Amino acid sequence: MGTVVLKLGNDISTDHIYPGRFMATVLPSETPQFCFADMTEFNARLRNKAVPPGSVIVAGQNFGCGSSREQAASTLKGHDLIVVAPGFARIFLQNAINLGLRTVICPEIEASEGDELEIGADSVTNVTSGKRFASQPLPKARQAIVDAGGLIPYARKLVVEQAS
Amino acid sequence: MGMTIVQKILARAAGRSSVAIGDVVEPRVDLAMSHENAALVINQFHEIYKGTGLEPHLWDPDRIAIIFDHRVPAESSKTATNQKKIRDFVAKHGIGRFHDLRGDEGGICHQILPESGYVLPGRVVVGTDSHTTSHGALGAFAFGVGATEMAAVWALGRVLNVEVPDTIKVVVGGTLPATVLPKDLILHLIGRISAEGANFKVIEFHGDTIERMSTSGRLTLCNMSVEAGATSGIVPPDAETVRYLREEAGVSDEVDLTGPDAGASYSETIEINAADLAPQLACPHTVDHVKPVVDVAGRKVDQIVIGSCTNGRLDDLEVAAGIVKGKRLAKHVRMLVFPASWRIYKEAMRLGYLSELIDAGAVVMNPGCGCCLGVHQGALGDGEVALSTTNRNFKGRMGNPNSEVYLCSPAVAAASALTGVITDPRG
């Protein structure tokens, strides 16, 4: 069960999630401080650890559009957030899966800030409103990476196989 | 069933006779490009090898390109230190296609790759930059990836688990009116299909307008295809591709002009009559918020930006210089010009374009991306409005969430610089 801590509209770009002026900071251990940096209140809550791990961001269509910056995925992953949206931009979705950030494609999702969501294998239940919404599987090409725990362990196994 | 051009490229790169849309393949990579974010790629590359007992090993240093362009010269000690780490890595591993901040070989990655002859038709190009879609202008399948994905490419030489994408066919016919440019065409298309209209798909450009268009214009189209969500844009290679590669990129190798099959299957076909197009603007704060310039004419602007990977080539500078030549910018306007590479900078200097821009009041900056993405030079003040030939206008894009960015062609930008308000260049 996770609480919806942020409700966003369509076309939230990676510039929103991780503004360009912080791009010199690259390491996943350092990017979480700049998560949604221009939304100063939400950013302060994150930095003050007032947002529990497993909290949910509910967004609109095309979440993560724009730049390929991986910081946009690592900054969210650093706070153990889950993103539920009707659709994601390609590179962001790929980065999220590669880094183990949980993303849920849920075309009909209806939720408000403060609602409690139960995220299942093929649906999202809004416990507060009592409504259940079907979710879609990830692109099949990416499920193997999720199953391996991310792209680093997935590639590590292949590198070892290649060397032997 | 016939194949699209990207199906053919992926089939060959995966060692198969054919692939169907939705198939999962692991294409071999011909060129792997990064910029300053190579600092993160290097970190993730070492992570892959952690605990294996193996020495980190690049699959092919000759197929890796690293170009410094996002923050040049370094804007902070942090960037400078990252750049130093990358230089050390490049030297240690013998990466040949490295373009540092240098007047003799530097510039913006999406200009350096084509002009250096690194991109050929039929090849697979990946880059840790979303505008890697640009290189489809030369008939390559070129797409953006994240840093960890690139680290796996550096180790393995192939992209893991690529789903063969569906393709939208865009057919453009007729002649673009005077001062209506390829930028207006791609803004129109993005406005028409939306910022996610081509998500997970390829846009294949066809039609007599495209056949007559220079590689420079095709680069603008493919560059901004990602703003409609496209995995890549691509123009089937033709005589113009060969001309560009021979005359401007110094390529003497045989060029493969394989195009799509006549019976290829497309998710949809969009037809555009070029003659009907007017100058376009992408209004704040999304790239698909597109209107004809006339609808917004008269809006006061503070900063004009001409350049970037989208519109910083010689023909773009020629258009802008031609409009401001012998005139002066409006008193309240500042105008920044970023040529896409030092080769273009020098050629524009030789042809007098830079003098004409400077005499009108423009400031010519070194080639780089910093202003476009708000990391370095040209930040906007609270409440200010920029009119820019770059590719994104998201809130805060030029370094300040309390400002606005409109996107346009070099002709609209230059005409508006003279008046200080958004102006239709057709007069």
Asked if the model's pLDDT at residue A141 lies above 90, the reply is no
ipTM confidence:
0.96
B424 located within any domain = no
Range of the domain at B309: 280-419
The maximal CA–CA distance of chain A, rounded, in angstroms, is 54
Q: Give the model's pLDDT for residue A143.
A: 86
Query: Quick one: B317 and B268 in the same domain?
Result: no
Return mean pLDDT, chain A: 96
**Angstroms from A60 CA to nearest CA on chain B:** 12
B342 located within any domain = yes
In this structure, are strands B280-282 and B385-388 parallel, antiparallel, or unpaired?
Answer: unpaired
Q: Which of B272, B299, B323 is the last residue of a domain?
A: B272
- Region of B161 please: left (phi>0), alpha (psi -120 to 50) or beta: left
B81-117 per-position pLDDT tens digit: 999 999 999 999 999 999 999 999 999 999 999 999 9
Q: Give the model's pLDDT for residue A140.
A: 75
B388 located within any domain = yes
Confidence category of residue B413, pLDDT binned at 50, 70, 90: very high
Which amino acid type is present at position A104? Answer: V
B159 contact partners, CB below 8 Å, separation of at least 6: B26, B27, B29, B124, B126, B145, B149, B152, B153
Inspect the interface and report whether the beta carbons of B148 and A19 lie closer than 8 Å.
no
Q: Give the model's pLDDT for residue A164.
A: 86
Asked if the model's pLDDT at residue B64 lies above 80, the reply is yes
A161 chain-B contacts, CB cut-off 8 A: none
Asked if the model's pLDDT at residue B135 lies above 90, the reply is yes
B66 located within any domain = yes
Query: Quick one: B37 and B57 in the same domain?
Result: yes
Query: Quick one: B219 and B248 in the same domain?
Result: yes
Asked if the model's pLDDT at residue B76 lies above 90, the reply is yes
* Residue B206 host element (H or E): strand B201-206
Over residues B310-319, the mean pLDDT reads 98
Q: Give the model's pLDDT for residue B371.
A: 95
For the residues of B315-343, what is the DSSP string, one character each?
HHHHHHHHHHTT----TT-EEEEE-SBHH
Q: Give the model's pLDDT for residue B105.
A: 96
Q: Give the model's pLDDT for residue B411.
A: 98
Query: Quick one: B214 and B290 in the same domain?
Result: no
Inspect the interface and report whether the beta carbons of A142 and B161 lie closer than 8 Å.
yes
Query: Quick one: B370 and B226 in the same domain?
Result: no
B79 chain-A contacts, CB cut-off 8 A: 24
Alpha-helix runs per DSSP H in B101-244: 109-115, 147-156, 182-193, 208-212, 215-225, 239-243
Q: Give the model's pLDDT for residue A144.
A: 86
Confidence category of residue B1, pLDDT binned at 50, 70, 90: confident
How many domains does chain B contain in total?
A: 2
B204 located within any domain = yes
B156 chain-A contacts, CB cut-off 8 A: 155, 158-159, 162
Q: Which of B272, B303, B320 is the last residue of a domain?
A: B272
**Angstroms from B365 CA to nearest CA on chain A:** 19
Query: Quick one: B115 and B262 in the same domain?
Result: yes
Confidence category of residue A69, pLDDT binned at 50, 70, 90: very high
Confidence category of residue B427, pLDDT binned at 50, 70, 90: confident
Contact criterion met (CB below 8 Å) for B121 and B258? yes
Who among A87, A139, A162 is closest to B163 (CB)?
A139
Listed by number, the residues of chain A in 82-111 with a beta carbon closer than 8 Å to a beta carbon of chain B are: 87, 89-91, 94-95, 98-99
Write down all domains in chain A, each with its CATH number in brackets: 2-137 (3.20.19.10)
Partner A contacted by B23 (CB < 8 A): no
Contact criterion met (CB below 8 Å) for B120 and B251? yes
Partner B contacted by A65 (CB < 8 A): yes
Inspect the interface and report whether the beta carbons of A23 and B200 lie closer than 8 Å.
no
Q: Quick check: bond before B35 cis, omega within 30?
A: no
For residue B263, give both structure tokens: 């019976």
In this structure, are strands B166-173 and B268-273 parallel, antiparallel, or unpaired?
Answer: parallel
Listed by number, the residues of chain A in 18-57 with a beta carbon closer than 8 Å to a beta carbon of chain B are: 19-21, 23-27, 38
Q: Give the model's pLDDT for residue B107.
A: 98
Listed by number, the residues of chain B in 221-280 with a beta carbon closer than 8 Å to a beta carbon of chain A are: 229, 231
Q: Give the model's pLDDT for residue A150.
A: 95
Mutating which of A75, A103, A152 best tests the B interface, going by the most B Cβ atoms within 10 A? A152
Q: Give the model's pLDDT for residue A53.
A: 97
Q: CATH number of the domain at B119, please.
A: 3.30.499.10
B47-61 per-position pLDDT tens digit: 999 999 999 999 999
Eight-class DSSP state of B120: -
Q: Quick check: bond before A32 cis, omega within 30?
A: no
B425 located within any domain = no
Q: Which of A114-118, B1-5, B153-157 has the lowest mean pLDDT?
A: B1-5
For the residues of B241-269, what is the DSSP string, one character each?
HHHIIIIIS---S--------TTB--SEE
Among chain B residues, the shortest Cα distance to A92 is held by B146
B214 contact partners, CB below 8 Å, separation of at least 6: B240, B244, B315
SS (H, E, C) chain A: CEEEEEECCCCCEHHHHCCHHHCCCCCCCCHHHHCCCCCHHHHHHHHCCCCCCCCEEECCCCECECCCCCHHHHHHHCCCCEEEECCECHHHHHHHHHHCCEEEECCCCCCCCCCEEEECCCEEEECCCCEEEECECCCHHHHHHHHHCCHHHHHHHHHHHHHC
Asked if the model's pLDDT at residue B68 lies above 80, the reply is yes
Query: Quick one: B133 and B248 in the same domain?
Result: yes
B115 located within any domain = yes
Cα B122 to Cα B80: distance, rounded to the nearest angstrom: 36
Inspect the interface and report whether the beta carbons of B37 and A159 lie closer than 8 Å.
no
Eight-class DSSP state of B228: G
Query: Quick one: B156 and B81 in the same domain?
Result: yes
CA B342, B344, B346, B348 torsion: positive or negative? negative
* Residue B355 host element (H or E): helix B353-360
3-state secondary structure of B47: helix
The maximal CA–CA distance of chain B, rounded, in angstroms, is 68
Asked if the model's pLDDT at residue A139 lies above 80, the reply is no
B318-365 per-position pLDDT tens digit: 999 999 999 999 999 999 999 999 999 999 999 999 999 999 999 999
For residue B284, give both structure tokens: 């704040």
Query: Quick one: B209 and B69 in the same domain?
Result: yes
Over residues B357-383, the mean pLDDT reads 96
Query: Quick one: B24 and B89 in the same domain?
Result: yes
For residue B280, what are the β-bridge partners?
B292
A90 chain-B contacts, CB cut-off 8 A: 199-200, 229, 231
Query: Quick one: B261 and B186 in the same domain?
Result: yes
Q: Give the model's pLDDT for residue B162.
A: 94
CA triplet B338, B342, B344: central angle to 5 degrees? 75
Selection from A55, A19, A62, A60 nearest residue A37 by Cα: A19
B4-17 per-position pLDDT tens digit: 999 999 999 999 99
Query: Quick one: B263 and B297 in the same domain?
Result: no
B426 located within any domain = no
B199 chain-A contacts, CB cut-off 8 A: 62, 87, 89-90
pTM of the model: 0.97
Over residues B14-40, the mean pLDDT reads 97
In this structure, are strands B404-407 and B334-338 parallel, antiparallel, or unpaired?
Answer: unpaired
Return mean pLDDT, chain B: 97
